[in-house]
Amino acid sequence: MYDSEPLKRCCLEDCIGACCVFGVWIDPREVEDIIANASLILPTMPESAKNPGEWFVPVEDTDEHSPSGKVLHTAVENAPWHYGNTACVFCLTDGKCALQVAAVANNLHPWRFKPFYCLIHPIDQDELGRFTVDTVDALLAEKGSCLRASDETIPLIELFAPELEYLLGEKTYQALQEVAAEKRKG
């Protein structure tokens, strides 16, 4: 995350949520929270997805980075209007996430209901749990990467500032910025 790359964020109006093509892995605790708040989320869901019991695939997999060590998957729907012709059940036709729209509509932080792996995309975690990104070529080749080529080289810690500050907290993010500044000097 301390490297600088010629990347910029995508524009939702251009990609229409291409990153939502396959749905997302989600910790069972996140599933429970979303179901517990279904009354806030349901008004943002399309008519075809009004049953919270159908929002997740009930098959668990292991995931060492997930708080419970397990993950489920969000349901994926046929979506002829979407990149790849499929989309996460929470992806709306304008590319916005119903979970994020629901949070904003209820005066909550926009990412209040957003699954961890959605929030960090296209950031990944390595085997030690550190935040990383794929190579620039891989990111630019994938339409759903949420990144585009830029004429400017930008430190990744700045490019992903909102996500990192949200996940790590203001103090930890500030400490990372200080380390990044020292690395750029030296």
Each residue's pLDDT, cut to its tens digit, for the chain (186 residues) gives 788 888 888 878 777 888 888 899 999 999 999 999 999 999 999 999 999 999 999 899 999 989 999 999 999 999 998 888 999 999 999 999 999 999 999 999 999 999 999 988 888 888 887 888 877 777 777 766 778 888 999 888 899 899 889 988 999 999 989 988 888 787
What is the reported pLDDT for 82? 86
pTM for this structure?
Answer: 0.86
What is the reported pLDDT for 172? 92
First to last CA, the chain: 16
Measured CA angle at 164 (ends 123, 24), to 5 deg: 40
Closest C-alpha among 109, 100, 48 to residue 76: 48
Residues 137 and 135: their CA atoms lie apart, in Å, by 5
| 31 neighbors 56 (Cβ within 8 angstroms) | yes
What is the torsion angle, in degrees rounded to the nearest 10, for the CA atoms of residue 11, residue 12, residue 14 and residue 20? 120
